[in-house]
């Protein structure tokens, strides 16, 4: 299915949150010395990549400044700086938030500076950093999903690793039958983790039609995905810990929760929080819907070029280098355990390294293969802070049985539509 692309008119004309005070264009660059590029971000390894660049590029100096994680205040800092005309040249922005930056008018079109290397990245990834074929930043990483599982427990119980979601449901019942105190997995209630399941299932949340937004949290496709997890939970086949809770991590270590279907960054999440089960985990492909090979994605970010950057060409040059240069990518893989978005990055030999926590399995090689199967038909909305909060609040009540997945989806639909209308966005009829 062809990917729906939002139009520029829908972003720049149909919003009332356009920031003011950004000026009419980029200020004049100082040609008396090297171009200076300020870069705000929070990911591990970014500082080191900037230092690598500075050692070999004396004409363009990148000054990296670490800020708070975007969702914890970093994005607010960026928007405030942009409104005052004091934003950096470059900013780390997650794909889920990129459309919000576009809608606010705080990014700069750098299409002409990246066009020669567009083939370095999959088309669907470019779709997360621009509109109408234009690019406002450079992709850094992606986060395809897979199944992390306790290989020792599955083997001892003689339960096959599920290949499909039907298999997964059967395995869930088998785990409980083998050990009534254990469950195959914790029910997914984090909104962005859950987005990966909707993404895989072709259950879009947003689309565009005639320069207007379509919101579809309450679609039949979304109902199907939500109903799958609801039925497993209603049958008592899933654990019910809050998302990212210490009790869940303990259950992983103790073998009370046998698996986690999650994105590539779950590898470090499990490793760092379930040390007691080191060497007992393995990774398999994400269960499929029937014979469809589509995989979900949950995470990933880009290096965005802010509107008032005086050196957009140089900023884009560095951003491309950071995402494609072998030394930089090797550094990012080692420091942040990312899965590179670039094709050259995916060929990096560091991804073939065995992971001791996972019984020396080269797990990132599997994620590299799975990244080619990510469903390309997904679009984030322009007010994800509102949408994710509404969905997250609803999903957070599921494990206490105060709400269902359908209740959560309905709430996200209602709150998102209300917020879009309130902020002046056009909605498709």
- Between the CA of residue 370 and those of 2, 148, 263, 297, 365, what are the distances in Å? 20, 14, 11, 10, 9
Whether 8-143+299-347 and 145-296+378-422 share one fold: the answer is yes
Extract the residue ranges of the chain whose pLDDT is less than 70: 1-32
CATH topology of domain 8-143+299-347: D-Maltodextrin-Binding Protein; domain 2 (3.40.190)
pLDDT for position 32: 62
pLDDT for 43-99, tens place per residue? 999 999 999 999 999 999 999 999 999 999 999 999 999 999 999 999 999 999 999
pLDDT for position 10: 38
pLDDT for position 211: 87
pLDDT for position 203: 97
pLDDT for position 98: 97
Domain boundaries, the chain: 8-143+299-347, 145-296+378-422
Tell me 65's DSSP state.
E
pTM of this prediction? 0.91
The CATH code of domain 145-296+378-422 reads 3.40.190.10
Beta-sheet strands, E only, within 31-125: 35-41, 60-66, 90-94
pLDDT for position 210: 87
Long-range contact list for 409-415, CB < 8 A, 24+ apart?
409/217, 409/218, 409/222, 409/223, 409/226, 410/217, 410/218, 412/205, 412/217, 412/387, 413/215, 413/216, 413/217, 413/218, 414/390, 415/386, 415/387, 415/389, 415/390
Give the three-state DSSP class for 207.
strand
pLDDT for position 413: 98
pLDDT for position 201: 97
Of all helices (H) and strands (E), which one includes residue 223?
helix 220-234
């Amino acid at each position: 299915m062809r990917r729906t692309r939002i139009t520029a008119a829908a972003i720049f004309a149909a919003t009332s949150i356009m920031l003011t005070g950004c000026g009419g264009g980029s200020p004049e660059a100082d040609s008396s010395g090297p171009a200076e590029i300020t870069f705000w971000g929070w990911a591990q390894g970014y500082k080191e990549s900037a230092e690598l660049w500075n050692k070999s590029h004396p004409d363009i100096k990148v000054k990296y400044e670490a800020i708070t994680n975007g969702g914890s205040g970093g994005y607010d800092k960026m928007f405030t700086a942009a409104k005052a005309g004091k934003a950096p040249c470059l900013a780390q922005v997650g794909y889920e938030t990129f459309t919000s930056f576009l809608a606010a008018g705080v990014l700069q079109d750098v299409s002409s500076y990246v066009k020669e290397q567009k083939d370095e990245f999959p088309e669907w990834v470019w779709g997360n950093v621009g509109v109408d074929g234009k690019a406002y930043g450079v992709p850094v990483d992606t986060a395809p999903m897979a199944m992390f599982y306790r290989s020792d427990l599955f083997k001892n119980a003689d339960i096959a690793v599920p290949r499909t979601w039907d298999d997964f449901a059967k395995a869930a019942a088998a785990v409980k039958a083998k050990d009534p105190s254990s469950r195959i997995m914790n029910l997914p209630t984090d909104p962005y983790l859950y987005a990966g399941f909707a993404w895989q299932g072709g259950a879009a949340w947003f689309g565009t039609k005639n320069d207007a937004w379509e919101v579809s949290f309450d679609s039949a496709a979304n109902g199907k995905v939500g109903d799958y997890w609801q039925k497993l939970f209603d049958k008592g086949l899933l654990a019910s810990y809050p998302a990212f809770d210490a009790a869940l991590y303990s259950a992983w270590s103790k073998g009370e929760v046998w698996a986690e279907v999650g994105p590539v960054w779950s590898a470090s999440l499990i490793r760092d929080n379930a040390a007691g089960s080191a060497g007992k985990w393995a990774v398999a492909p994400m269960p499929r819907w029937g014979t469809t090979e589509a995989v979900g994605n949950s995470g990933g970010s880009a290096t965005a070029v802010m509107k008032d950057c005086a050196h957009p060409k140089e900023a884009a040059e560095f951003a491309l280098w950071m995402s494609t240069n072998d030394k930089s990518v090797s550094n990012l893989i080692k420091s942040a355990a990312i899965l590179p978005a670039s094709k050259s990055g995916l060929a990096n030999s560091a991804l073939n390294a065995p992971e001791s926590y996972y019984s020396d399995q080269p797990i990132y090689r599997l994620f590299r293969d799975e990244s080619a199967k990510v469903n390309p038909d997904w679009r984030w909305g322009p007010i994800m802070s509102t949408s994710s909060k509404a969905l997250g609040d609803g999903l957070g009540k599921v494990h206490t049985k105060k709400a269902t997945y359908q209740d959560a989806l309905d709430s996200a639909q209602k709150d998102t539509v209300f917020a879009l209308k309130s902020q002046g966005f056009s909605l498709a009829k």
